[in-house]
Amino acid sequence: MAFGARVTFDRDAMLSDVRAGLAAHPRQLPSKYFYDERGSQLFDEITRLPEYYPTRAERALLQDRAATIVSTTHPATLIELGAGSTDKTRLLLDQMLKSPASNVTYIPVDVSADFLATSVAQLRGEYPTLVTSPVVADFATQFALPTHPLPSLHAFLGSTIGNFTPAAAVDLVTSVRTRMAFGDFFLLGVDLRKDPHQIERAYNDSRGITAQFNKNILNVVNNVLGADFEMSKFDHNAVYDRDQHRIEMRLISRAAQTVAIPGIGDVVFAPGDAILTELSYKYDRAIVTELLGQAGLQLSEWFTDDAESFALALANR
Ligand code: AVJ
């Protein structure tokens, strides 16, 4: 998530994603299009909202557990998928750099080259001995890693796994496993199942920041494709599906309206018509164990906070 960095979406890729998404039933837009510069700023604001517990819970967990995680996995390389916020990365790097003899390599993987450059420059300033080799790639694809010292800790934090359907999550973890050497570990951050009202409050904050974040996806489509979505003609909606254990976030058309999208044509909305913009799956230990198992990994440690709101799962081959 590229806070402060400029994100440039590929126009042709977005055109085919938006065409397919708005032709599908239900209509949908890929969550990755939330994160232009404004969307990344809004997400950053979300992480500081009183109702949005996951970021704080994960940071507190890492503060408590980074020493244990590093002493059990003794990594020479930290590989971070979707190099999110450097403050969580630092908690792991601080522990890795504690032993005076250690050479530590950091490999952040992110789609935004600008964002990678910014965060790597920042970390290099703070950790002069750190070897950095950023990889520009979509972490959901199969990409190759540069040569690096072993063993590695592969980290996928922030409960970003929650945006993936169960089948896509297995594919993603399987691709992590194919990059893992024996002796490597995988660290996964997941938001946990809990009181549905608490989860719903996290996605319906009283200041309406999540609503702005959700509507911003229309702004991104307008900016990149020249569409004429009017953000004020859609309502934010986020409900927890208790059977599928996931938040479903939608934009609901407030009125009958026609939106023109160059290259796609006119899209007609009736009042109440919805666009699905995000799924955010919530996990428990059994489901994480199953996910890891289906990807050929086994759970070795399970760390949660006292309130059991968030978990860090540590796995190996
Ligand atoms: C960045 C995917 C973890 O699912 O909670 C926050 C994004 N969406 N509020 C999440 C998000 C609405 C967030 N992730």
pLDDT, tens digit, for every residue of 124-139?
A: 999 999 999 999 998 8
Q: How many CB atoms lie within 10 A of CB 71?
A: 10
pLDDT, tens digit, for every residue of 20-79?
A: 999 999 999 999 999 998 999 999 999 999 999 999 999 999 999 999 999 999 999 999
Name the one residue in this structure whose structure tokens are 């072993």: 150
pLDDT at position 2 over 90: no
Atom of ligand 1 nearest to the CA of 202: 9
CA 251 – CA 266 distance, rounded (Å): 18
The CA–CA distances, whole Å, from 234 to 83, 184, 252, 259 equal 31, 46, 5, 12
Which residue would you say has higher pLDDT here, 160 or 1?
160
Name the one residue in this structure whose structure tokens are 């990994």: 297
pLDDT of residue 288: 99
Atom of ligand 1 nearest to the CA of 214: 12
Atom of ligand 1 nearest to the CA of 1: 1
pLDDT, tens digit, for every residue of 271-315?
A: 999 999 999 999 999 999 999 999 999 999 999 999 999 999 999
pLDDT of residue 5: 46
**What sign results for the dihedral spanned by CA atoms 72, 74, 78, 84?**
positive
pLDDT band at 7 (very low <50, low <70, confident <90, very high): low
CA 276 – CA 293 distance, rounded (Å): 30
CA 295 – CA 173 distance, rounded (Å): 6
User: How much is the pTM?
Assistant: 0.95
Residues 6 or more apart from 291 whose CB is under 8 A from it? 166, 169, 170, 173, 283
Atom of ligand 1 nearest to the CA of 238: 12
pLDDT band at 4 (very low <50, low <70, confident <90, very high): very low
User: Mean pLDDT across the chain, nearest whole number?
Assistant: 95
CA 66 – CA 146 distance, rounded (Å): 25
Ligand 1 centroid to Cα of residue 56, in Å, is: 13
Contact 191, 310 (CB under 8 A): yes
Ligand 1 centroid to Cα of residue 100, in Å, is: 37
Name the one residue in this structure whose structure tokens are 């702004």: 219
pLDDT of residue 291: 98
CA 158 – CA 300 distance, rounded (Å): 20
Q: Is 280 helix (H, G, I), strand (E, B) or coil?
A: strand
pLDDT of residue 87: 84
**Tokens read off for 217:** 């996806």
pLDDT, tens digit, for every residue of 224-238?
A: 999 999 999 999 999
pLDDT of residue 3: 45
For residues 211-218, give the mean pLDDT: 98
For residues 168-194, give the mean pLDDT: 98
Ligand 1 centroid to Cα of residue 192, in Å, is: 13
pLDDT band at 1 (very low <50, low <70, confident <90, very high): very low
pLDDT, tens digit, for every residue of 148-166?
A: 999 999 999 999 999 999 9
Q: How many CB atoms lie within 10 A of CB 26?
A: 11
Ligand 1 centroid to Cα of residue 104, in Å, is: 30
Residues 6 or more apart from 213 whose CB is under 8 A from it? 34, 39, 42, 43, 46
Name every protein residue with a CB atom under 6 angstroms from any ligand 1 atom. 46, 54, 158-160, 162-163, 203, 210, 213, 278, 280
CA Rg value for the chain? 20
Contact 291, 170 (CB under 8 A): yes
CA 108 – CA 314 distance, rounded (Å): 19
Residue nearest to atom 1 of ligand 1 (CA): 160
Atom of ligand 1 nearest to the CA of 159: 3
pLDDT at position 256 over 80: yes
Which residue type sits at 264? I
Residue nearest to atom 13 of ligand 1 (CA): 160
For residues 195-218, give the mean pLDDT: 98
